[in-house]
Structure 1
Amino acid sequence: MATLLRTSEGGPPLTDETLRSFERKYALVLPRTYREFLLATNGGRPERDLLKFEGPAGASPCRIHLFFGLNDPIESCRLDWNLEVFRERLSPHLLPIATTEGADLICLAVTGEQAGMLFYWDGYAREGERGLYFLAGDFPSLLSALHADELSPRIIRA
């Protein structure tokens, strides 16, 4: 599968073994299409970053600031770093795979009945408030829901 989304500023190129090592360490299995995305981009800033969904304030648009990768020189851009930092605040079946311009996360369910589904996690939700919102049934559906506007990053084609 060719990546459905171009990114810039991703981490260094990944190998399948690097991804398998990550999966073993955290006892999870990444969906095939998400693995392919990481192998093609290793995260980064998406050229289509605007996402509209039924969120905390009804129809909430958000911008995906960055998809996390592995082995990035900036630790806050790494999947494993974000998994460790948010471990106490997220359900154990969720892997944070991206951040919005605020403190919110895009999470991938990696175990259980919801495996493969994507969710928006509201980092500002208070205890007892709803903080998790369904985004897409699978990774390609999330990518196809992203749009660009005049504020979206521009990736110059070589």
Structure 2
Amino acid sequence: MTNMNSKNPKISLDDIKEFEHEYDITLPKEYVDFLLEYNGGYPQESTFKISDSEGESLVNKFYGIGDMKSNLAKVFEILEGEIPEDFVSIANDPGGNEILLGISGEYQGKVYFWIHDIEPEDEMGNMFILADSFSEFFINLY
């Protein structure tokens, strides 16, 4: 089970609903629970496998909601048009790649790794599935 070295200031369900309303998205329940518990932060166990060909990477930090350097809202606005619209970035790795959470359609609730410096042939060409749910991704960090 992953522990967090540090977490961001506590937020309420109203803060999350406000974020969802502002960006017209619905976050999966288990991710909402994570935000209520930690509101992002730095995981103690942070390594994850990308794929056999890409190896592994680390979660640098999970984004939170509120007044912090990198938060969900700022990252959402920066990456709008860069990442597929069915996703929101929830974390990054030290190389500037993003960990994305599916927020609609067939990707709902699934966690993907988005590599920023691969020029994809199609929308999903630089993305690798990491887990079928946020909980699965989080508990499998090592």
TM-score (norm 2): 0.92
Which structure 1 residue ranges, 5 or more long, are not aligned? 148-158
Secondary structure, in 3 states, of the residue corresponding to 1:113?
A: helix
- Who is 1:139 aligned against? 134
Question: 2:5 maps to what in 1?
Answer: 8
Q: RMSD of the alignment, in Å?
A: 1.5
In the alignment, which of 19, 23, 26 is matched to residue 16 of structure 2?
A: 19
Deviations 1:64-111 (A, max 9, x none): 00000011331xx20011010011211111100000011100000101
For structure 2, the residue ranges without an aligned partner over 5 or more in a row are: none
Number of aligned residue pairs:
140
What is the TM-score when the length of structure 1 is the normalising length? 0.83
| Contact 1:6 1:41 (C-alpha < 8 Å) held by counterparts | no
Deviation of 1:59 (Å): 4.5
Contact 1:10/1:43 (8 A) holds in 2: yes
Give aligned-pair identity as a percent. 24
Matches within 5 A, 1:36-47: 36-47=33-44
Please point out which of 31, 34, 37 is paired with 2:31: 34
- The amino acid across from 2:45 in the alignment is R
Query: Rg bigger for which structure?
Result: 1
CA contact (8 A) 1:12 1:72 kept: no
